[in-house]
Amino acid sequence: MRVPALGAVLLASCGGLSHTLHPDVPRPHRLAVLPVQGAAPFVERELARSLLRARLQERGYLVAELEFTDRVLSERSWLSDPETFSPASLPLSEVATAIGVDGVLVVDQFDETRWNALLVRRHALGARFRIVEKDGGEWWQANYTVGVTGGFLLKSGQLLTELLSQSTHGAGAASLDRIDELVEGVAEVLPVDEDRAEHHMPPGIAAPVVAAPVVHAISEGLARVEVRVEAPPGSSVWLDLGDRLRSMPMSGANAAYTGAVDVPADWPPLAVRVRVRGAFGQQAEATR
């Protein structure tokens, strides 16, 4: 009974990279990386996502900023709690259109295996990766597991090496190693976007138009400053009140954005500065 179990464990510990490209599906150039779903700790999933974005940029893709992606997902009620996010039932075509990209990278089943029975130990990370084009076609998919298997049984003779490895097994640095290896490995099999000419970069973003702020008393000693702005639809917009309050996020639909801040009534009138930012980091600002 124990021998088959051990055999199964050893087989399960085998991992590798398999990937498929569908050349009949149009190749996306602008991508968004969705939050990563899986049983691995949230911090690790976040790091993997951020590294994936960096590696995709390195491969020639224009990748939407993560904060921008998350805001758009949240505004459409596709994302509420990032720690329990699941892309399973998302309308991926709609998601791509809303973010302004022509494909989304979906990562799920991001799981970590970490066990140590001294004689045999295993620390592995694996996930499924898919790039879905804005019309819904799956352009590329990969499954990848990276890991280390060790233990005194397998490292027979190398006792000092194994003792050192046991001391670092499953530690934060070891997880970082696995994430780095996983992300690099999977990015390496993704075709380089040779056609990364600047025409994939959207033009600069238009400067916002800021209306005169409206100030009204809301209680004794407190006033509400309300600001209305016209800005390109979908962009991220922030409001500054002089040097006293910086980067208050504003809310908007279509091109009309609003924001409000309650300030002490005795604050002097402050200059209003509004900044807008597009999916790929294009920026503009205006002051009133």
Partner 1 sequence: MRLLRLVLLALFGLLLLGCTGSNVRRREDPRLPKLRAMGFRIVVVPFRTSAPEEGFLATALGPVGEVLALEQSGRERGRIEVADSLRGDIVAWLRQSPFEVVEPWVSDTQLAHVGLDRAGMADPQNAARIAAALQVDGVLFGDVERWNRSYYVLQSTAEVGLHLELRDRDGTELFATTRTETLGSGVTGGPTGYGSLISAPVQGLSGNTLRELSRQIARSAALDLGGAQPDAEPSPLLPRLSVVSLVRRHDGPVQPGERIDVLAVGTPDCDVRFDVGRLRSGVPMRAVATTDDARGARTTYEGHYVVQPTDPVAEVPVYVTIERTGQRGTRSRYRWDGSVRIATDRGAKPGR
Chain residues binding partner 1 by CB under 8 A are 47, 50-51, 53-55, 57-58, 60, 67, 70-71, 73-86, 89-90, 155-164, 172-173, 175-177, 180-181, 183-184, 196, 224, 245-253, 256-262
Q: Which is nearer to partner 1, 8 or 202 (CB)?
A: 202
Query: Whose CA is closest to 276, among 233, 234, 237?
Result: 237
Residue bearing tokens 């989304």: 104
Query: Whose CA is closest to 66, among 109, 26, 105, 111?
Result: 105
Q: The sheet that has 17-21: what strands, in order across it?
A: 17-21, 138-150, 121-133, 103-116, 30-33, 62-63
Contact of 62 with 30, CB cutoff 8 Å: yes
Residue 5 CB, nearest approach to partner 1 (Å)? 26
Residue 237 CB, nearest approach to partner 1 (Å)? 11
Q: Which is nearer to partner 1, 212 or 253 (CB)?
A: 253
Quick one: which H or E segment has residue 39? none
Contact of 123 with 114, CB cutoff 8 Å: yes
Q: Which is nearer to partner 1, 6 or 256 (CB)?
A: 256
Q: Which is nearer to partner 1, 22 or 109 (CB)?
A: 109
Q: Which is nearer to partner 1, 8 or 43 (CB)?
A: 43
Residue 160 CB, nearest approach to partner 1 (Å)? 4
Residue 158 CB, nearest approach to partner 1 (Å)? 3
